[in-house]
Homo-oligomer: A and B are copies of this chain.
């Protein structure tokens, strides 16, 4: 029944729009309240790991000879640093095991650069006239917000199927006002693509005019495959060292989507030199991170191999949700030719690119029918998508039956938005 809208006649389009609107009225009337706005694990995933809170024994709260209950160990428990070194493929000495939020570790690096400067660079960024920052987009809104918040000029770098447009990046970093770049290298937020080996090598080899250029490498989905087995991934800390940029990178990871979102443990990996410098700042900033939570996590997750087994259980819950999203897009949208999307094998999102000018209207229609999505534009710097095209779908939170309904509505809304435009 559906065919490419571009080949349809005025009458066909008009008939389609009437049909879609009729269906929309019916669905809207159901008073649904569905949420696909954030990459929030669903209740079933949380149930899988809830025994985490019961895994500590009150008589076994030492990690080696360190009493996890008391002050000390600013860089985190050794076992927690080892755990993340195992997961990320770097060395324990390159890891800071942190608190419950990797986002806060990221904010603190930017904030430190702003107030005091980073390792080896005396001039804090707040003393500079202008800071520019590279934002591969679509990307993660919370990343962009941090750098916007500090008044940096955000420069959009288009994402390709192999990562950021590297020709453009290599050109831009010749400007010494360009101080850094955000990256989500594996199952990028929102496209779900994995940076290619070539892209990663080009990034690690960048010749930046700014000596204190910061590569913010948010490896948020480093072990988060849902549609295939774990895919090994390069250790960016080693690679940057090999490529002559040992102090350029700060890598981040967390267990927010392994155990509990907002109550997991996080990590930052970078050169030992960077870490030594940062430790001095950290000793002023905090008394240390929560070692009891670190101990609880290491006892529970054990190591990378054991964690990958757990990730398969998450995948069992997540895979059908992503299949549902892709099936709806395939059946309801593909024939109309009004959008394209990637088919991720890991991560938390499906990124849809509609024809220009449809995203806002689509999400407005969704909202009015009770389906909340990530705001249109959120995946671009300053929240402005120049094409009004990208929509981030986060299918993890709703239950499968709700998701079916939400996707039905979403696809319908996108078709209405397209038909309205073509009929106008």
Q: How far, in angstroms, from A43 to B62 measured CA to CA in the complex? A: 11
Contact of A290 among B59, B70, B142, B290 (CB under 8 A): B290
- Binary contact track A30-53/B, C-beta < 8 Å → 1, others 0: 000000001011010010001111
Which residues does chain B contribute within 8 Å of A43, judged by CB atoms?
67
In this complex, the member of A52, A114, A262 whose beta carbon has the largest number of chain B beta carbons within 10 angstroms is A262
Given pairs A54-B58, A100-B289, A290-B293, 16 additional interface contacts (CB within 8 A)? A41-B70, A46-B70, A50-B58, A53-B56, A53-B292, A69-B263, A70-B262, A101-B286, A101-B287, A107-B284, A116-B149, A149-B284, A262-B287, A262-B288, A263-B291, A263-B293
Which residues does chain B contribute within 8 Å of A70, judged by CB atoms?
40-41, 46, 260-262
Contact of A69 among B103, B126, B260, B286 (CB under 8 A): B260
Q: 9 tightest A-B contacts by CB? A: A263-B292, A50-B58, A100-B290, A53-B56, A104-B286, A126-B126, A46-B69, A69-B260, A71-B261
Q: Given A291-B262, A293-B263, does the pair A145, B71 have CB atoms closer than 8 Å? A: no
- The answer to whether the Cβ of A14 comes within 8 Å of any Cβ in the partner chain is no
Chain A residues at the B interface, C-beta cutoff of 8 Å: 38, 40-41, 43, 46, 50-54, 56-59, 61, 67-72, 99-101, 103-104, 107, 111, 114-116, 126, 142, 145-146, 149-150, 256, 260-263, 281, 284-293, 296
Which residues does chain B contribute within 8 Å of A100, judged by CB atoms?
99, 287-290, 293
Q: Given A101-B287, A291-B262, does the pair A58, B53 have CB atoms closer than 8 Å? A: yes
Which residues does chain B contribute within 8 Å of A256, judged by CB atoms?
287
Q: How far, in angstroms, from A54 to B58 measured CA to CA in the complex? A: 7
Q: How far, in angstroms, from A150 to B289 measured CA to CA in the complex? A: 22
Cβ of A41 to closest chain B Cβ, rounded Å: 7
Which residues does chain B contribute within 8 Å of A115, judged by CB atoms?
111, 114-115, 126, 150
Shortest Cβ distance from A265 into B: residue: B290
Q: How far, in angstroms, from A309 to B56 measured CA to CA in the complex? A: 25
Cβ of A148 to closest chain B Cβ, rounded Å: 9
Q: How far, in angstroms, from A290 to B100 measured CA to CA in the complex? A: 6
Cβ of A303 to closest chain B Cβ, rounded Å: 22
Q: Given A38-B71, A46-B70, A54-B58, does the pair A103, B293 have CB atoms closer than 8 Å? A: no
Which residues does chain B contribute within 8 Å of A99, judged by CB atoms?
99-100, 290
Which residues does chain B contribute within 8 Å of A260, judged by CB atoms?
69-70, 292
Shortest Cβ distance from A264 into B: residue: B290
Shortest Cβ distance from A281 into B: residue: B149
Shortest Cβ distance from A108 into B: residue: B285
Cβ of A184 to closest chain B Cβ, rounded Å: 15
A–B complex contacts, Cβ < 8 Å, 14 sampled: A38-B71, A40-B70, A46-B69, A53-B57, A53-B58, A54-B56, A54-B57, A70-B260, A100-B290, A101-B288, A107-B285, A262-B291, A263-B291, A290-B293
